[in-house]
């Protein structure tokens, strides 16, 4: 099977990864849907490196479940509008002073009395 694998070889040119790492050129089997004719499959040997295959072709690939991050939520802040209550100033009233007209003024004045204490000692 080594000869068949070499016939299905594809050369991959060297390239740079997105993180800046350079990958050297290498040979691999032609892409197809078979798991049995890859250089890394158990029972096969890479003719270019001499390495034996280690991958079990019957084992299904393991997929990890996608991880979901629950978004955090914070309630929006609310500031109540401020209202100013208009100040109320009571109107000022002045009560006029009242003076009775002169024709209401009594002409009579009460007599004034003076009190002198009585002296019993004389």
Q: E strands within the chain?
A: 9-12, 15-16, 22-23, 26-29
Please tell me the predicted confidence (pLDDT) of residue 117: 65
d(CA 47, CA 9): 10
pLDDT tens profile 40-55: 889 999 888 899 999 8
Q: Tens of pLDDT along 86-122?
A: 777 777 777 777 676 666 556 666 666 666 666 666 5
Q: Is residue 71 part of a domain?
A: no
Residue 82: inside a domain, yes or no? no
Please count the other Cβ atoms lying within 10 Å of the Cβ belonging to residue 7.
10
Q: Work out how many domains the chain is built from and give that number.
A: 1
Residue 108 lies in a domain: no
Query: Is residue 45 included in any domain, yes or no?
Result: yes
As beta bridge partners, residue 55 has 41
Report the distance separating Cα 16 and Cα 22, nearest Å: 4
Residue 121 falls within a domain, yes or no? no
What distance in Å separates the CA atoms of residue 46 and residue 53, rounded to the nearest whole number? Answer: 7
Contact 27, 6 (CB under 8 A): no
Band of residue 5 on the pLDDT scale cut at 50, 70, 90:
very low
Owning domain of residue 32: 1-58
Flag whether 112 is in a domain.
Answer: no
Q: For the chain, count helices (H), then strands (E).
A: 1, 4
Q: 99-102, long-range: CB within 8 Å, 24+ apart, which pairs? A: none
pTM (2 decimals)?
0.38
104 belongs to a structural domain: no
Judge whether 103 lies within some domain: no
């Amino acid at each position: 099977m080594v000869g068949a694998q070499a016939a299905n070889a594809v050369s991959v040119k060297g390239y740079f990864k997105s993180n800046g790492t350079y990958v050297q050129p290498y040979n691999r089997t032609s892409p197809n849907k078979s798991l049995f004719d890859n250089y890394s499959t158990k029972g096969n040997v890479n003719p270019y490196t001499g390495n034996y295959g280690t991958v079990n072709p019957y084992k299904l690939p393991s997929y990890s479940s996608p991880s979901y991050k629950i978004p955090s939520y914070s309630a929006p802040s609310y500031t109540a509008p401020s209202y100013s209550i208009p100040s109320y100033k009571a109107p000022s009233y002045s009560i006029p002073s009242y003076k009775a007209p002169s024709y209401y003024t009594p002409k009579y004045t009460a007599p004034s009395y003076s009190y002198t204490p009585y002296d019993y000692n004389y």
